[in-house]
Amino acid sequence: MPPKVYILDDDLSFAKLLAVNLRGAGTFKIEVFQRADDLFARRAEEPSDAVITDLMMPGMDGIAVTRRLRETDPHLPVFVLTGQAEIATAIEALKAGATEYLTKPVNVDELTTLLKRALKARPLIETAESLEQTRKRDFSTGAILGSDPKIETVREFVRRVAEAPTATVLLLGESGTGKNLVAQAIHYSGAPGGRFVEINCAALPPQLLEAELFGYQKGAFTDARESKRGLVEVAENGTVFLDEIGELSPEFQAKLLNVLESRRFRRVGGTEELEVPARFVTATNRNLEQAVKAGKFRQDLYYRIRVATMVLPALREIEGDLPVLAEHFREFFSREFKKDVRRIAPAALSRLRAWHWPGNVRELRNVIERAMIFADDGELRVEHLPPLESLSATSPSSDPGTGVTLVDAEKAHIQRILAEFKGNVQRAAEALGISRKNLWEKRKKYGLLD
């Protein structure tokens, strides 16, 4: 169906002429109205895809029409036409929500191009807004699950910090405790602003990290064929999340300190100083105080980033919340895998509660994900869980002890996994991360064939 465009103008002759020209220039279904009330009555019956309205009209003018249209359809393309090219009225129209402001006589080719562009962009804008709303829901303080007092402390910290759009935040805690989630909760719990951008400080060398964070000017280095905005600019009025900040090189630590102190930066190869328009959230699982004493982390940078600090609790410290987290991941992967797994069996939950979770919430998530692949009959049971002791090299139960060869350790491990799955070769192979053929060869090698 061709897009429906409604034209509103008290000069009916002009409106009809414009409609004829638009039909000739593009594929539009057009209706013409002389009064605003008639336009709104028609839209109540049949919504339009775009509206073109005159600015100066008796009764309700184009600014008021635009505001009323925006109340019910925030993404509707609205074009305001006027015979007076005044900057003040143009600004007022755009503030009211107009997509474009054009002067009469109208260039029909230009108007057609702008109409098509606006109609094409609308679904993209709606998708982006829907995604933003989803992220606000998924990364609000409500996404930080648990009723333990330590978790409530984290939620209160997020609420407080989110109110300070330029605060510098440091998140500490073991790997897998949810520092990324908390960083996003801080961003999405604040006033609507810019984007959340994340960079892993351990993943890039210092030179590339600087270019990614601050951008570069054309010609700054061999491959810089054009200028590029850095993540600080991309996150304008938003949040820059620097994960693994403890891995920064001494050279980049000095540059970052200068940026945080002055709230200004220069692109690589640039001379113009730009404002820092973003909040910085940093995170690490390292002990930064020890790193400072060892001379591996600048003391002045440490003091600068720890303005607002939160140590996230390990899962073993909030073990009472494990059932809630496990149920959350069961429900998530039930939707993800389109499986009707409605509960975790009591025996399976007891097994989960008995583990010490060195990998914290991330490890729990991975375990539930793996179990949900094999779960059936509406229930996640013990036999669906991987052998938890095999997941952690630091687990006491997996320590072969001194004087035991690697061959002996592998044989004992395979025996333990086979016993865990009661001789089910397929599931044992999956738990070991090898093929059935490979497991058969190892069983033959170690004399474990029945």
Give the domain range for residue 435: 400-450
Phi and psi of 38, rounded to 5°?
A: -65, -40
Q: For residue 78, give Cα distances in angstroms to 46, 95, 155, 156, 368.
A: 16, 12, 41, 42, 49
Domain CATH code at residue 419: 1.10.10.60
pLDDT at 153: 96
Q: For residue 40, give Cα distances in angstroms to 19, 64, 70, 163.
A: 18, 12, 12, 40
Domain CATH code at residue 381: 1.10.8.60
pLDDT of residue 13 exceeding 80: yes
- The answer as to whether 409 is a domain residue is yes
- The answer as to whether 27 is a domain residue is yes
Same domain, 285 and 407: no
- The answer as to whether 137 is a domain residue is no
Domain CATH code at residue 32: 3.40.50.2300
End residue of a domain, out of 249, 280, 311: 311
pLDDT at 370: 92
Question: What b-and-e string marks burial along 151-184, b requiring 16 or more CB atoms within 10 Å of the CB?
Answer: beebbebbeebbeebebbbbbbbbebbbbbbbbb
The per-residue pLDDT for range 159-168, each reduced to its tens digit, is 999 988 888 9
More confident residue, 224 or 402: 224
Same domain, 118 and 179: no
Same domain, 204 and 119: no
Same domain, 428 and 373: no
Instruction: Label residue 268 by pLDDT band (50, 70, 90).
Output: confident
- The answer as to whether 136 is a domain residue is no
Section 99-128 average pLDDT: 88
Instruction: Label residue 225 by pLDDT band (50, 70, 90).
Output: confident
Question: How high does pLDDT run on average in the chain?
Answer: 86
Same domain, 273 and 159: yes
Same domain, 286 and 197: yes
pLDDT at 391: 52
- The answer as to whether 82 is a domain residue is yes
Same domain, 301 and 184: yes
Same domain, 209 and 185: yes
Phi and psi of 61, rounded to 5°?
A: -80, 180
Q: For residue 424, give Cα distances in angstroms to 382, 410, 417, 439.
A: 14, 18, 9, 11
Same domain, 228 and 151: yes
Same domain, 294 and 171: yes
Section 44-67 average pLDDT: 92
The string of DSSP codes covering 195-245 is: -EEEEETTSS-HHHHHHHHHEE-TTSSTT--S-EE-HHHHTTTSEEEEETG
End residue of a domain, out of 257, 288, 311: 311
End residue of a domain, out of 311, 345, 378: 311
The per-residue pLDDT for range 399-436, each reduced to its tens digit, is 444 444 556 667 777 887 787 777 788 877 767 767 77
Q: How many domains does the chain have?
A: 4
Residue that the structure tokens 């990614």 belong to? 212
pLDDT at 409: 66
Instruction: Label residue 350 by pLDDT band (50, 70, 90).
Output: very high
Is the distance from CB of 186 to CB of 161 less than 8 angstroms? yes
pLDDT of residue 282 exceeding 90: yes
More confident residue, 405 or 45: 45
The region of weakest confidence among 62-66, 88-92, 146-150 is 88-92
- The answer as to whether 140 is a domain residue is no
pLDDT at 400: 41
Same domain, 296 and 171: yes
Same domain, 44 and 97: yes
pLDDT at 422: 74
- The answer as to whether 138 is a domain residue is no
Domain CATH code at residue 261: 3.40.50.300
